[in-house]
Every structure is written in C-alpha cells, then in structure tokens.
Amino acid sequence: MKHAHSFYIDGKWVEPSVSKTLEVIDPSTEEPMGTIALGSAADTEKAVAAARRAFASFSETSKEERIELLRRIVTILKRRNDELGDIISREMGAPLAMARAEQAGIGALHFQQTIKAFETFASDYMQGTTCITREPVGVVAMITPWNWPINQIACKVAPALATGCTMVLKPSEIAPFNAVIFTEIMDEAGVPKGVFNLVHGDGPTVGTALASHPDVDMVSFTGSTRAGIAVAQAAAPTVKRVHQELGGKSPNIILRSADFSGAVAAGVRRCFGNSGQTCTAPTRMLVPAERMEEASSIAAREAAALVVGPPSDPCTDLGPVASGAQFDKIQALIERGIAEGAELIAGGPGRPSHLNSGYYVRPTVFARVTNQMTIAREEIFGPVLSIIGYDSEDEAIAIANDTPYGLAAYIQGDPEEARALAGRLRAGSVRLNNSAWDSAAPFGGYKQSGNGREYGKFGLQEFTEIKGIAGFANE
C-alpha cells in the first residue's frame, strides 16, 4: 500500500520520526499481508501541533462550507467503497460481501446522516436575554478499534468536521490499512491542512501520548473497557473531555409471547454476526426456563448451519476472528465455560475440522448457563452464545441488568409488553423485535460500557462546548 509507511500530518504524507514497523497479519492465513509504520511521541507531537494551528481558522468556517466538504467526502467514499471493503476483509476477516456492503458502506451512511442532522442543528438560541451557543470543542484525539473500523472512524470524524473541530486519528494497528485509504479520501476531498491528521501506533505509545497531551481538548475512544480505563487515567491530569464507547454483554430477552422459533434463530444470527466481534452482540439469550430444551435445540441447529470459512468464499457466513490473541482468548473462555458446568450444545474448542490454519472459531452455544459463570460475565468478543433461563419477567430484567456493562439490550415478544419492559433495562440502546439498526439513534452505554453518545445529532452535541452569553439581548 502506497502510504502504509507514512503518516498524514498538516495536509501531507510525511516520514515517521523513528523507523519502526509492524507486520499486519491476515487472520484467514496467519501470514503477514504487509507492514505499517508505528509512530512515536514525536510524531504525535507534530500531529497535535498541526491540529492546534488549524483549529483557529477551521472553527471559523461557515456551516455551508463544512456541509459541502462532507458531501465531497461522501462522493469519494462511495467511489472507493469496494476497495475499502476488500482491505477490511483481509485485515480483520469479515466475509467479503459483508465487508463491502456493511463494514465499508457504513462510512458513507454516517457522513450522510451527519449532513442531515447538521442541516437542522441549532448552534445557538435565545433563553430570555441570554444567548446559548454551541462551539467546537477543539482538538480531538480519536482512537478507534479493529472490529468495525470504518464505522468508528466515520462516526467520529464526520461530526467533528461538521462542528469545526480538528483531529488526530490513531486507528487500530491490527487493521490499519483501511484508515490509510480513508485518509487518502480526506486528502482528495480537500480537507484543509492540519484539520485531519493520521498517526499509526500502539496504545501505550501513541494512544497514551494523545490522551495525555495538554493541547488535546477531547479524546474519543472506542475499544475495550480495560483500555478505556487506561485512556481515562492518562487524560485525567489535563481534565479533558473523555468520550468512550466500550465493552458490552448484551442480554436478549425472549418473552413467552414471542414467535419463539424465529426469535431464537434471529438471536443466534445476530450474536454471531461479524464472527461475534461486535460490542452490541446479544451474547446472553434469556429464555423462559420451561422452554430451555426447545431454545437449545433451535440454537444448536442454527449454529450448525452457519458456514465458517475464508472471507473470500461467497458461501462463508463467519470468517476468522481478527488476531491470534483474540483466538486464544476465545478458546480459553470456551474451555472455562465447559469447566464451570455450562452445557455445550454446539461448537466447542478448536477450529472447525475442515480448516487447518487461520483464526477460525467454531460457532459455540452453551445452554443452562447461570449469570454467575465467567462466560456470562466477560465480554468474549467471538461467536459464543450463552442461554440463560428465567422464571418471571422480573427475574429476566434482574438478570439482564446484572452486569457491569450497559451498552445494548434486546427484547422479543408482544410489542406492548416489550415497550413496557424496555424502560427497565439499564442500557444505552434497546432493540425490540429484531429491529433494524438506526444510524440516527444515540449510540453509547451505561456503566462500564462508557459515556457520551455517537451518531446523528447526538454525535454533533458531543463535539461541542456550550456557552451562555448573558445580556446578549436588550431587556
């Protein structure tokens, strides 16, 4: 890749301060697919300085200018969509068709939704004689993950640009090449120099340098709760805004009133999508205790029907997980589930028998899980589903909320009944009856799933400061 060994700072591709590279591994083969430059504190310093210089002028650009910039980005994103999808598929293992349609395609969707929200976004209004105004927060450090890479880049960059912020992006070093293409798109679209900057690197080096930098006004981080805690600790001495979207252990409550067979089958598929590497995946399926056997049979059948294989194969439902470390973690947790007495009804340890290499995980379902078991407590981030029984709706709600996380929750059943229960779930988003994703709905979590919200007008609000100007109007 042309710019893999460069960083994008102050409107141009530049050489790293230190010559250090990292192999990027194709998870379907376990072989290197290329190398990426790794940045240092010196590279981070240059990028932040460029963003700080650019902020004074970019924050004063008009709403119309920024909307036109966002529209240019959308046009180029669509033109390079398949190229983005192809590289994401190789980097993190998503099936090719899914990588193009969803992983890459979601980038343009976020920009379009941001444009729509920004067109009617009220930057200021009068409250009596006081003017309440929203202003750009400043220089934003963006630290993004590997599981939905373009999604998380786009849903941060789009609202930051719209509100007049400048930024430095550190994408995941596990799946970094899509960010290089994204940066080429930003450059082609004519983003003013210094407004958008890219520095590759690892968390302890570049991530910490960004989070702790006194000239960074906000850190927007998506990743694990463990890493989020480290980011918050690094940011604390400078009292900057810390916006985080972290882990999840989402419950999926299947009510007695649900179309049981359809709800269980849909829950399995949603849990295993993207090989289980989605923070909102409904990994705890709660079913009436008296229907545990029925739910187990349906879930096992659905898991067995999923095709695990190379991302390039059009028949593949699940590709590999993204890395060797992730594979090892998932295998250890599957073994832990067995050791703690959960009933293994599909999948299990090891690769599927027809695959000899690659980080492939067997779609795994455990039945008769209790909410105290490790597999019900920890975010596994792989294709592993736990089925938990409940006796009453009150018990189902108690189990659902009995987690340190609160990112998402799901309810299947009678619509009126589901709506009544939704308010009792301690989660940032609740989906009823397998509803579709909504790019305008707020996205973020309660408890250790983070703070702040992304998407649409909610993302725009996160990247602004609120100012009150008293005496603005005459009495």
Give the DSSP letter string of 52-81.
Answer: HHHHHHHTTS-HHHHHHHHHHHHHHHHHTH
Closest of 135, 191, 192, 223 to residue 460, by C-alpha: 135
Q: What is the mean pLDDT of residues 183-191?
A: 98
From the number of C-beta atoms within 10 Å of its C-beta (0-12, 13-18, 19+), residue 41 rates as middle
Long-range CB contacts (< 8 A, 24+ apart) of 397-401?
397/253, 397/421, 397/424, 397/425, 399/251, 399/284, 399/286, 399/371, 400/251, 400/253, 400/284, 400/286, 400/425, 401/425, 401/426
Quote the distance between the C-alpha of residue 397 and its chain's center.
25
Told to judge if 245 belongs to the known catalytic residues of this protein, a careful annotator would answer yes
Residue 413: closest CA among 390, 432, 438: 432
Q: Are 132 and 160 in contact (CB under 8 A)?
A: no
> Hunting for tokens 């008769």 — which residue is that?
368
Give the model's pLDDT for residue 1.
79
Give the pLDDT score at 22: 97
Residue 455: the pLDDT is 97
Options 91, 245, 302, 454, the catalytic residue: 245
What is the rounded CA–CA span in Å between residue 384 and residue 73?
37
Cα-Cα-Cα-Cα torsion 260, 266, 267, 273, nearest 10 degrees, comes to 170
Mean pLDDT of all residues in 187-203: 98
Instruction: Spell out the alpha helix ranges (H) of 316-426.
Output: 324-339, 374-377, 393-401, 415-422
DSSP annotation of 41 = H
The percentage of the chain sitting over the pLDDT mark of 70, rounded to a whole number, equals 100
Helix (H), strand (E) at residue 196? strand 196-198
In the chain, the amino acid numbered 82 is: D
Q: What is the pTM of this model?
A: 0.96
pLDDT band at 213 (very low <50, low <70, confident <90, very high): very high
Report the C-alpha gap between 306 and 347 in whole angstroms: 11
Beta bridge partners of 432: 411
> In what helix (H) or strand (E) does residue 293 lie, and over which residues does it extend?
helix 292-305
Res. 475: pLDDT tops 80: no
Question: Do residues 39 and 57 make contact, with C-beta atoms less than 8 angstroms apart?
Answer: no
Mean pLDDT of the region 361-366 = 98
Cα torsion 209, 215, 216, 217: sign: positive
Farthest-apart Cα atoms in the chain, separation: 78
Tokens representing 186 are 């930003």
Contact status, residue 402 vs residue 383, Cβ threshold 8 Å: no
CA proximity to 210, closest of 286, 139, 150, 160: 139
Mean pLDDT of the chain: 97
pLDDT interval class at 104 (50, 70, 90): very high
Domains and CATH numbers, the chain: 7-246+449-469 (3.40.605.10), 251-438 (3.40.309.10)
End-to-end CA distance of the chain, in Å? 62
The one catalytic residue among 279, 302, 379, 454 = 279
Mean pLDDT of the region 270-280: 97
Confidence of residue 474 (pLDDT cuts 50, 70, 90): confident
**Which candidate, 208, 92, 193, places its Cα nearest to that of 152?**
92
Name the pLDDT band for 159 (thresholds 50, 70, 90): very high
Question: pLDDT tens for residues 7-18?
Answer: 999 999 999 999
Cα 39 from chain centroid? 23
Residues whose CB is less than 8 angstroms from the CB of residue 290 and which lie 6 or more positions away in sequence, other chains included: none
Residues 6+ apart with CB under 8 A from 229: none
